[in-house]
Structure 1
């Protein structure tokens, strides 16, 4: 096929979850291009079980307000911790929420979840190759009905990820991984 497997191997091994971002904007058009690449993830019967909500520029405030409202106390006040997290979210160039329909058939649900996860990994790798970093988050608040309603996630849909996206201010060192031989049983007879 002519692909440089060493480059692909190195891309996979070099990708990191980024938590600290430069304030530099990331082009929405480039994110769309990356999603066009990522959509080539394997998905059974080409169901393409995903949809996306991309928050950019002033639109980020809708995402941040949804988060803040989901953290509000009974008296309506926002805890200091949530205020600090909101400020952190404001510093991140883009937020992408990835949503899938929750099919009641377990087999289809499992296939859809696998497909969406594969798409997200494709997206992360394609972005990393262009110097764009991100972190895939699945925090408690993505299950909060206040957050879900505020961003338009419907009953019967699951938030698979909130991806915080930008150019890395800091790239963490690689953490060691367990040898596959410690996790592999080879059955040859």
Structure 2
């Protein structure tokens, strides 16, 4: 796959044609999507596939249960409601993603980040096969009947639905904010072109080139809730270097804005996870390695202060980047366990 081109060309699709989506293709793409995810640990998650007319109808009926209770919807003409149900039912296939929760926040985040990353990988791989997707987490659909239909169990977390299918026309591109405008440097100098360190072999400018492709990540309404903190040549960098064991690495903290609305906050976290996954895919075309981690210290506000993390922000992940094909101190982890069942 030409990762830079596919990441920039992919679009959210809202109108699908009637061409069926082969279940065998979905399973193949899911396996490939899972294999492209690399991080610490072995996150646990599962996926449901609704590809038959019967399963799609059951899913849409369960999604509509909460919506039909809305005062606004009750005032809508029956024909309009039926049209909406038919439109969603006619989408050729749906993938429902569920992440396991954990006893601590870090492991829960690892599981959720893995699911979001695999969803992004699936969208990119699907795009290469002419498949479009719509990532849906609308709380209006999350009724008790919907959660029962997907079999959500205690200790699990609904991550989202990918509505998928072939399409006739892709929407036009919408502008992305350059990574330079979301960039903070801690170290020698204050500008990207002035951050060339003898210790760090990868320049900040090279990382910005990758980020300017990575920002073409799916995010609702193009809120672009991310910020990048490049750390080198300081006591803060020494702390990160100590934790990684590689003094020649470049370190990048990926930060997410935390919206007051819990649903938007979750959507924004997912968008940042997709951006991070884009970075990992883009690095594959360069003679670099990238190590993605979620250190325990990011959950301690006092330890985050030296990096300028604001009260309405959180660190999503630490990226360590260096030259050579693989991080010398870290073997690649196995892909997340793939568990896909038919609804």
TM range (shorter): 0.7 to 0.9
- Where do 1:1-189 residues align within 5 Å? 7-40=2-35, 41-47=37-43, 49-58=44-53, 59-73=55-69, 80=78, 82-189=81-188
**Structure 1 runs not aligned, ≥5 long:** none
1:142, distance to aligned residue in structure 2 (A): 4.7
Q: Which has the larger radius of gyration?
A: 2
Greater RCO structure (CA 8 Å; 6+ sep): 1
Provide the TM-score with structure 1 as the length reference: 0.87
Contact (CA 8 Å) 1:42, 1:118: kept in 2 or not? no
Provide the TM-score with structure 2 as the length reference: 0.50
Structure 2 CA distance, aligned partners of 1:11 and 1:73? 40
After superposition, the Cα gap between the structure-2 partners of 1:145 and 1:155, relative to the gap in structure 1 and judged at 3 Å, is farther
Kindly tell me the number of residue pairs found equivalent between the two proteins: 181
RMSD: 2.0
Task: Report SS of the residue matched to 2:184.
Answer: coil
Task: Report SS of the residue matched to 2:153.
Answer: coil
Flag as ranges the 4+ runs of structure 1 deviating above 3 A: 77-84
Contact (CA 8 Å) 2:63, 2:142: kept in 1 or not? no
Structure 2 CA distance, aligned partners of 1:179 and 1:119? 25
